[in-house]
Every structure is written in C-alpha cells, then in structure tokens.
Amino acid sequence: MEKTGNGKFDIGIIGGGPAGYVAAVRAAQLGARTALVEARELGGTCLNRGCIPSKALLRCIEALELADGARRMGIKFAAPEIDFDGVRRHATRAVKTLVSGVELLMEGNGITVFRGHGELLEPTRVQVASDEQTTEFEADKIIVCTGSVPFVPPIPGVDSSNVIDSDQAVALEQVPKSLAVIGAGAVGCELAQVYAGFGSKVTLIEMLERIVPTEDPQASDLLENTMSKQGIRVLAGARATKLENSGDRNRLILDRGGEEEVVEADLVLMATSRKAYTEGLGVEELGIALERGCIVVNDRLQTSIENIYAAGDVRRGVGLAHLASHEGIVAVENALGTSGGKAINYDAVPAVIYTHPEVASVGLQEHETKNCGFDCRVGEFPFSALGRAAASGERQGFVKLISEASSGRIVGGTVVGLSASELIAEITLAVRMGLTLDDVAETIHTHPTMSEGVGEAALAGLGRAIHLPPS
C-alpha cells in the first residue's frame, strides 16, 4: 500500500532496489511495521535498467546463436531476422512483469510505500519529497539502500549527446551502426555482445591489460578469443584520453602503450564504473561516516550512527544484486535484534558475467594464490571432456577449483562456459561450508550434465580425474 501521510514505524528503508525491497519483505516477516521509500520504480536499477533488461537482450542474442547451432546439428529453417522493436517489447515485458511482482510483495506483506526522494533529517526522521508533496515519517531503525548510479570519468568531450551510460544502453530505440564501449568489465562485455549480435560494429576498450580483469586470466583469454570470432574488436591496454564529436560521428582518441590510436563510432557507451548514490540523502549533515563517497559500516552493516544501517551498492559504489539482497536481509535482522549480530562471509560471494561463454567465480582465484598466505592446489577440468557439452555443441570452457593444499578445503573457483552461472552455486556452497575436494568428489553428480565438471575438477585436484588422461 502506498502512503502519503505521516506515520511511525519500527523500521524505515530508503531505496526500493534489490537491497531495499528484500529488506522490507524480511522486516515485515519479522512482524515489524515497515516503511519503504522509492523515488522511481520498485526494483531499482537492477530490475528496471540493469540485470533484467540486459539479460532479456542477451537471451535474444542467445536465440540467434542457438539457431545457428541448430543448423549445424542438421535442423534446417530460414535464416532468422531481427525485429528490434519486438526485442525491445520482450525486454519491457520482462521488466514490467517483475516490477508488478515486487509491488504485489509490498502489498501482500503490508509494507507502506512512500513515493519520492528520501532524506534523513534526524536519525529517526525521514522526509519524502515528490513533485506533488513533501511528507515525513519516523522509524526506530533505518536502513539506507539507495544503490549506485553510472560514473563517467573526466574524459574531455564525454558530455557529447552521442555518449550513453549503461542505464541508457538497455533502452536504445535502434541499433547503432557502430559502437565503442569503454570498459571491459561485466557490463561492457555483456552489452558489447548484445549489440554486436544485433549487427553493430563494436569496439571494446579496456584500460587494463586484459578484459574482465578481475577474473581468472584464462577466462579473460577465452572470452576475448570468442568475442574476436564474433566480430568484436578488442583493444586492451588502451586508455581513452579525449572524445571529439563531428556531427553524428565520434572520434575517440586512445593512448595505447604510448601510441595514439583513433576509434570512430556513431555511439560511445561508458561502461567504466558506478558510484554510490548519496545525493541529497542527508548522510553528511547527520555525520554518517563516508569513505570515497560510500557509506562506511561495521561487520553488522551498522553505520556510525547506531540505529542506521546500510546495504547494497551505497556501501561500495559497485556491487552485485544478489549480494545487495543478502545484505538487506542481514541488516534487517541485525537492526531488529533477531540475529544475535550476524556477519556476512564475503569470501563466499559469487559473481557472474552473462556473456557467451558465461564467466562465473567465487572466492580465491588461481592468479591470486601467490599472495594468499598458504599453499594452494588447483584442480581443473575442461568442458571438452564432458558428454553433455559434446551433445550440446558447447565444448568450450572449464571448471577450476582452488583448495588449501594441507586440508583440501575449497577456497574458490572459476567456471567458464555453458551454465557457469548455475554451476557456481555448488562451489559457493562448498566455500561457505568449508567443504573439501573429497566432499565434492564423493558427491554423486548426475550424468550427463555440466555439473559433472565440478566433480571432475575436484577429482583433478586430488590427482585422480577419471575422464582426463594421466599427465
């Protein structure tokens, strides 16, 4: 139910994205009188302008790839055609369906929704301002979940009308003939594949020496190789220094190893980073501690003001929707005193890049083991040796498990390839529960499935992989 008047609540949550609306549901489940403040659509950036519309677009590209694969399998039909208006309707339907679902969750759980911009006036008092009116409410505990917004680096010329951010990229009305993507992290790589699949001439630019630089270098190499085959020009180790606009075209000036390189494109997508959204929130006026624009919290997600907590991207500037939701739940349980002071194990947080091939990871990765302070063992298994991968025509990729050599305890892992976004859940559970290579190896994995790769990687780490020749 939506609210326009004053009120008193047990807990007030500012921000209705993955952290905020999930926190509100959990608070209501615990019997708290709950208020949720949201200036835009419920579901936040993830649902409306990020995770969901981008995955809907990626699914359309996957359909094109499946059609191409089907012809190689002997299935004959006319070449598929792209109706971009129909593609956009598909993405819009997905978003509207999920937004409606969140609205039903608010109503079904008796959560009072305030529509407008929330501002902290006092530690227990929130002002909500909309175009129509300004109102206030009080809450014993408050959780800040205002998320993040795109960050545009100070590159001369990026204020051009031909420059877009990731929020705008999922809502384009037509496919650009050419697109330069600055930033080859998860967002940049995903959207590069989307528009290359729809026919754009795409150049992907990364300042660091490899794309998806936070992931396993082997994953970076495999993904870059695939992107090149898809017609995407990848320029790693290239720093954008200036953007020149001439009519409908952009000239992007790059510094690549001290040499100047020029990329021309109709549209430039800034996919470099995001920053915590605290504008007009009142946190500085209240004296809430900040660090580089992000709200500082303790291990219980409590800010420097005792009754105010924070969860999600507003803590980090960048983040993951699933982590934000989990933090929202933990913050609520800590604020309401039902958890006994719960902390989050940040070593067991999975991350996924929904490219083709998918890239997923959790915990420690192989290139990080040199500085981890203990001896590690790596167990790796290629998808090329899996029956399900061969039958599906998706043989590229691998599973890699990182374990502590002395105990066999699994401390991290990487999956690249078909169903990586699903397979990483088992490895995440192993990391969280302190399971060993033996625990996973002794777990029976269904045949034929991609999940067998996880079991085989555990066996490889133990030196006894079944479906790999002796080294």
H/E stretch holding 193: helix 186-197
120 in helix, strand or coil? strand
Question: Which among 273, 246, 239, 62 is positioned nearest to 152, based on CA atoms?
Answer: 273
In one-letter notation, the amino acid at residue 413 is G
Sign of the four-CA dihedral 411, 417, 418, 421: positive
The answer to whether 202 and 179 have CB atoms below 8 angstroms apart is yes
Q: How far apart are CA 300 and CA 331, in angstroms?
A: 7
Q: Which of 117, 367, 447, 467 is catalytic?
A: 447
Active site residue 467: no
CB 404 within 8 A of CB 380: no
Question: CA separation (Å) from 121 to 9, 70, 230, 280, 284?
Answer: 16, 60, 52, 11, 11
| Structural tokens at position 272 | 């470099």
Which residue in 285, 289, 293 sits closest to 314, CA to CA? 293
Total residues found in the chain within this entry:
471
Quickly list H helices, 208-366: 217-229, 283-286, 321-335
The pairing of strands 134-144 and 267-270 is unpaired
> How far apart, in whole angstroms, are the C-alpha atoms of residue 254 and residue 239?
5
CA–CA distance, 430 with 422 (Å, rounded to integer): 14
User: What are the structure tokens assigned to 286, written together?
Assistant: 């209240």
Q: Which single residue is written with the structure tokens 């078909």?
A: 418
Could you give the CA distance from residue 452 to residue 387 in angstroms, rounded to a whole number? 9
* Active-site residue list: 447
